[in-house]
Structure 1
Amino acid sequence: MAAAHRALVACALIFHLFYNPTDSGAVQLTQSNLDMTLASNELVFINFYAEWCRFSNILQPIFDDAADKVASLFPDQGRVVMGKVDCDKENTIATRFHISKYPTLKVIRNGQPTKREFRGQRSVDAFADFVKKQLEDPIKEFNSLNELAELDSAKRTIVGYFDRRDMPEYNIFRRVATSLKEDCQFYVGFGEVTAQMHPPGHPIIVFRADKSRSNDKDVTFMGNLNNFDEAHIWVQEKCVPLVREITFENAEELTEEGLPFLILFHSPDDTTIIKKYNDLVTNELLSEKQSINFLTADGKKFEHPLHHLGKSLSDLPLIAIDSFRHMYLFPDIKEMDKPGKLKQFLQDLYSGKLHREFHYGPETPSVEAHQDSNSVEKKTTSPPESTFRKLAPSKNRYTLLRDEL
């Protein structure tokens, strides 16, 4: 009996060491232990690297030291693991996670990959602080309905009204909030605080639009709050807008999506034009969302692209396309809401017309235009080069696979 007990203890110890290694540094993840590690931890922070990559080698000791610090800060099993994947040896894993550059740092929450990579400072303290923030409760509790009137109207918000914290629906809500906390702010109330907002035993969640940027209406989730996938899809659709604000923090991520930008440059306090642009894109350009990224940009923060277009803050608002090769200016923003005008601007990009006209002048069917063989040379111009292309993944920070292979 004692021998059997010892054997059972030994097996349990081996299992624990295999999936929760105690060696210093990040956990080496392979096909044999990856899925179990992802399934048994709330947060897994992974460094995808290649041994031949110079930037991977620079990062490796820093990431390992950070893993040791994180392990000391969060010693409880199941909270967090910092792992690493040798992409040459584990090519299947690299393909599964769509690795396109080395090193890539990805976060997996509750077994689900997050949309965004880690793109912050690469230091031990920065990694540890990032993990701390990731493990914070994504949902803030309100104790009075009056508090909801004071929420930041510039942010998209999901509000939950529940009877109790121990309801299974709240567990689903928390998982959804954990996955999408970068896209929305999440609030919740319990018991008597929310009793007037929902029937007893039937919790609800409500989307509140970013009033300062859009004219979207508040909407109540009508699906099954016990179904994670259903709730997650609905919240994601509400929290990730069709028109996004570009910042220096998300520019690399947006650029890496590979779609040209249609950008509204606006004054910082001009919310009217932002709402108008949002409505126009939603009502007339929705069919183009697979081909173009619809963005707004604070013209004061992004003065450099304006200068490339020959414009300044006094010329705002204006609309431009950045194709990652050149920038093209929409001729007259006063015509943006004329039916088909902005859509034609996009079609002229796809057809190459914008590029041709910048080099050879406006296309014209007139006979006279073709009679003068020098007319083309006289009209030849050069469009401004893309400035947002420079915000793409840096060759001084990554080894880009498309350049290496």
Structure 2
Amino acid sequence: MPIFDEAADKVAQVFPEAGRVVMAKVDCDRESSVATRFHITKYPTLKLIRSGQPAKREYRGQRSLEAFETFIKNQLEDPIKEFKGLAELTTLETNKRIIIGYFDSKDQAQYNMFRRVAMTLKDDCTFYAGFGEVSKQMHPPGEAIIVFRPDLKRSNDLDETFEGNINNFDELHIWMSEKCVPLVREITFENAEELTEEGLPFLILFHHPDDTESIKKYNDVVVKELISEKQNINFLTADGRKFAHPLHHLGKSESDLPLIAIDSFKHMYMFPNVKDMEVPGKMKQFIQDLYSGKLHREFHYGPDEETETQPKSTEPEKKPTTPPESTFKKLAPSKNRYTLIKEEL
């Protein structure tokens, strides 16, 4: 596509330093191993590589010279904000995931490693650092300390200090990634395409915009009981006011919030009673019923018979019903936006 060649020329002009910014293109038909490695499922796909690591989010913005230039400038901005006094840390936003570093100086090797990892996670966390006299009471001389502060509006967790080797990129990157990319994420219209593209069913808590208590309870249940399902399920929360359309498909409205549902990308199934989400095993069984087909079967024919020895019912034969169709599958990558999507190959 000519726009990418034009963008490469523009980038070389705006960022002339050799190796600072490189735009490259790959023929995925010829280089199939590269396509597999980076999970390319549609064309064109724009991936960002920082410090040798692919960014979690691909570029999904406007395809114009101006948009590419703005995006790259934003990516090159220093992700770390310097605090000048410990009192500043008491006024930080409570609705963001924050990582704070305490260092002797900016020349310290550990700070350079901290900054390198921060560049790869700047879209997921907010980073702060203090130096010299400002932070000396928070760490031993010559030894840096890095602390994660959770999003207090979504979590009951406490601050956590990194216990590993700060000079080891992989070790620090793994720890910071686990903290910055939470198990339970908020779905928005901006990230919905990327989340649906992961291909995992959604377990969604629909909540009122001001309801932080339900979010914390849901987060605790997922962490305590459902963490073994993280490779199979996307755990999400959704503003029920913004996502009123899926609620409508479930026959619900804002007045019914909070509620929990699974979207399998074929159908939507509602958790019977949100008040039961903290009952041990209830949410786990709900997911298992999706795997076994029980949710779908019961939507068609009503609750399963409990035993084979029960007396034969005299009630009329159950007629199949149709579960609500998935609404989130419509937010997946659009054929109007991409020239080729994997399902067409």
- Which TM-score tier does this pair reach, normalised by the shorter chain? over 0.9
1:235-384 to 2 correspondences below 5 Å: 235-365=176-306, 366-369=310-313, 374-377=316-319, 380-384=320-324
Match of 1:190 in 2: 131
Q: Does 1:62 align with 2:14?
A: no
Deviation at 1:224, TM superposition (A): 0.8
What CA distance in whole angstroms lies between the structure 2 residues aligned with 1:395 and 1:78? 34
Match of 2:159 in 1: 218
What CA distance in whole angstroms lies between the structure 2 residues aligned with 1:271 and 1:232? 29
Deviation at 1:214, TM superposition (A): 0.3
* Cα-to-partner distance string for 1:184-224 (whole Å, 9 max, x where unaligned): 11111111010111111111110001111101110111111
Q: Per the alignment, in what secondary structure is the counterpart of residue 277 of structure 1?
A: helix
Which protein, 1 or 2, shows the higher relative CO under an 8 Å CA cutoff with sep ≥ 6? 2
* Cα-to-partner distance string for 1:69-94 (whole Å, 9 max, x where unaligned): 22222111121011111222333322
Match of 1:15 in 2: none
Deviation at 1:399, TM superposition (A): 4.0
Deviation at 1:401, TM superposition (A): 4.7
Question: Which residue identity does 1:70 align to in structure 2?
Answer: V
Question: Which residue identity does 2:317 align to in structure 1?
Answer: S
What CA distance in whole angstroms lies between the structure 1 residues aligned with 2:158 and 2:171? 20
1:116-127 to 2 correspondences below 5 Å: 116-127=57-68
What CA distance in whole angstroms lies between the structure 1 residues aligned with 2:336 and 2:32? 24
Match of 2:328 in 1: 388
Q: Which runs of 5+ in 1 are unaligned?
A: 1-59
What CA distance in whole angstroms lies between the structure 2 residues aligned with 1:150 and 1:126? 33
Match of 1:103 in 2: 44
Question: Which residue identity does 2:322 align to in structure 1?
Answer: S
Of the three residues 167, 170, 187, the one matched with 2:108 is: 167
Deviation at 1:97, TM superposition (A): 2.1
What CA distance in whole angstroms lies between the structure 1 residues aligned with 2:60 and 2:198? 15
What CA distance in whole angstroms lies between the structure 2 residues aligned with 1:88 and 1:97? 14
What CA distance in whole angstroms lies between the structure 2 residues aligned with 1:368 and 1:153? 58
More helix by share: 1
Question: Which residue identity does 2:312 align to in structure 1?
Answer: E
Question: Which residue identity does 1:145 align to in structure 2?
Answer: L
Deviation at 1:376, TM superposition (A): 2.0
Question: Which residue identity does 2:326 align to in structure 1?
Answer: S
What CA distance in whole angstroms lies between the structure 1 residues aligned with 2:54 and 2:159? 28
* Cα-to-partner distance string for 1:145-168 (whole Å, 9 max, x where unaligned): 111122111111100000010111
What CA distance in whole angstroms lies between the structure 1 residues aligned with 2:218 and 2:200? 19
Question: Which residue identity does 2:79 align to in structure 1?
Answer: P
Of the three residues 142, 146, 171, the one matched with 1:205 is: 146
Q: Which runs of 5+ in 2 are unaligned?
A: none
* Maintained 8 Å contact 2:205/2:261: yes
Match of 2:342 in 1: 402
Question: Which residue identity does 2:4 align to in structure 1?
Answer: F
What CA distance in whole angstroms lies between the structure 2 residues aligned with 1:356 and 1:102? 37
What CA distance in whole angstroms lies between the structure 2 residues aligned with 1:251 and 1:136? 26
What CA distance in whole angstroms lies between the structure 2 residues aligned with 1:296 and 1:208? 20
What CA distance in whole angstroms lies between the structure 2 residues aligned with 1:89 and 1:282? 42
Question: Which residue identity does 1:354 align to in structure 2?
Answer: L
Question: How much identity, in percent, do the aligned residues show?
Answer: 72
What CA distance in whole angstroms lies between the structure 2 residues aligned with 1:336 and 1:195? 45
When Rg is computed on C-alpha atoms for both structures, the one with the higher figure is: 1
* Maintained 8 Å contact 2:263/2:326: yes
1:33-112 to 2 correspondences below 5 Å: 60-112=1-53
Q: Per the alignment, in what secondary structure is the counterpart of residue 121 of structure 1?
A: coil
The structure 1 segments of at least 4 consecutive aligned residues displaced by more than 4 Å after TM superposition are: none
What CA distance in whole angstroms lies between the structure 2 residues aligned with 1:146 and 1:358? 56
